[in-house]
A and B are shown apart, each in its own frame.
Chain A
Amino acid sequence: KAGVTQTPRYLIKTRGQQVTLSCSPISGHRSVSWYQQTPGQGLQFLFEYFSETQRNKGNFPGRFSGRQFSNSRSEMNVSTLELGDSALYLCASSFPPPTLPGLSYNEQFFGPGTRLTVL
Chain B
Amino acid sequence: QKEVEQDPGPLSVPEGAIVSLNCTYSNSAFQYFMWYRQYSRKGPELLMYTYSSGNKEDGRFTAQVDKSSKYISLFIRDSQPSDSATYLCAMISAGGSNYKLTFGKGTLLTVNP
Contacts and interface: CB of A to CB of B under 8 A. Distances in A.
Contacts of A108: 46, 101
Nearest to B50: A105
Contacts of B34: 105
B41 A112 contact: yes
Interface residues of A, number: 31
A45 B41 contact: no
A97 B34 CA distance: 14
B49 A31 contact: no
A74 B31 CA distance: 28
Interface string A52-93: 000110100000000000000000000000000000001010
B43 A113 contact: yes
Given A33-B100, A43-B44, A43-B101, 8 more contacts: A33-B101, A42-B106, A43-B88, A48-B100, A99-B96, A101-B51, A105-B32, A105-B34
